[in-house]
Amino acid sequence: MPATTKRRSAKKTVSPVISPAAKVTYLLRTCSKDMTSYNDFKWPKSGPVTCSDWRATPTCGHGLHGLLHGQGDASLMDWSDEAKWLVVAVDASTVVKIDSAKVKVPGGDVVFCGKREVAIAKLLELDTEASPSTVPCGQASASGDYGQASASGQRGQASASGQRGQASASGYQGQASASGDYGQASASGQRGQASASGQRGQASASGDYGQASASGDYGQASASGQRGQASASGYQGQASASGQRGQASASGQRGQASASGDYGQASALRGRARAGDLGIILLFKHDATANRDRVIVGYVGENGIEAGKWYKLNDAGTIVESPAGDSWFDGFAAAPFECAADAKTLKVAAVKS
């Protein structure tokens, strides 16, 4: 998104549908490339626009719809490359809130029509109540051995590919994906998702429903939030999930999984796991006779299993504590890495091999 250095106050608009005495505010919306929207309504690229069947009821239809101050359900917008993004000046007294997703008005004045990035910059310039953290910003993509991508906004997406690509997305449902030998991905927001692939890929997601997935020989994944999930695969993959019902899964010969919070679950294949109060530990052993892996379940509070302690399987397939200094896992921290929600400041703590 183009940087703006100064915010203007919402200014009066001379328009047949907005009186000079009106308090002006702004909507953000999209149209198809031919300027049509629902029921083939045709929008102008600039100037006044009105609805012929206006009804001031908090229901869909019978009005011109949009996101007031750019806030609402960004999934209602047209995210295609051909879409036209409009900034519409409206009389604030005529705005009817339909729900938390959108509003409608009887008319307004189209003050901008064009690409998303420029439309959002224009909205932020004109509307003092619009915020960069809530407008439907960003999609970012970077490729190359050292590429970085960062996207912020309600449903921002970021993707980076390359040997050491990084991707960061923040917002309500931001997504981040990074591929490459050292790819990193971080997503923040209520339902943010992060995915990283590569030999040492790392992924971090925060939010109530955040998910993180990392694959690679040293892949790491961390998810925080009430029901965050984390999954890591690879020879020494690690996964950490915090929250009331967080889940963590790690596969690989020395994978580690940690889940904190009531009812958290931790699962490790040929590795070790720990869980919080009332949590569940799932460890896997190979059954040579049946030629398959079998799940060994441990419950925190039963059979001596305690919250916050690491456990593994012994040769007999019994759950035993894996203390600090365990030769298999010596050097691995409980919180194996830290990711900031900005690709420029993405930090990774050292992990001993």
Q: What is the total count of domains within the chain? A: 2
Identify the domain containing residue 64 by its residue range.
24-126
**Judgement on whether residues 148 and 82 belong to the same structural domain of the protein:** no
With respect to residue 271, please indicate whether it lies within any of the assigned structural domains.
yes
**Judgement on whether residues 184 and 101 belong to the same structural domain of the protein:** no
With respect to residue 91, please indicate whether it lies within any of the assigned structural domains.
yes
With respect to residue 273, please indicate whether it lies within any of the assigned structural domains.
yes
Q: Which pTM was predicted?
A: 0.47
Are the CB atoms for 326 and 333 separated by under 8 Å? no
Are the CB atoms for 70 and 3 separated by under 8 Å? no
Q: Give the DSSP H/E element, type plus range, for residue 272.
A: strand 272-275
Residue where a domain terminates, one of 59, 91, 126: 126
With respect to residue 57, please indicate whether it lies within any of the assigned structural domains.
yes
Distance (Å, rounded) from C-alpha 283 to C-alpha 199? Answer: 24
CA 114, 116, 119, 121 dihedral sign is negative
Strands 47-50 and 107-114: antiparallel
* pLDDT one digit per residue (tens) for the chain, 353 residues: 444 445 554 444 456 788 888 999 999 999 999 999 988 899 999 999 999 999 999 999 999 999 999 988 877 888 888 999 999 999 999 999 999 889 999 999 999 999 988 998 899 999 999 887 677 755 555 566 666 665 555 555 666 676 666 776 665 556 677 776 666 777 766 666 777 776 666 777 776 666 777 776 666 777 766 566 676 666 556 777 766 556 677 766 556 777 766 666 676 766 777 877 878 887 888 888 988 888 889 998 999 999 888 888 888 889 999 876 664 444 333 333 333 333 333 333 322 22
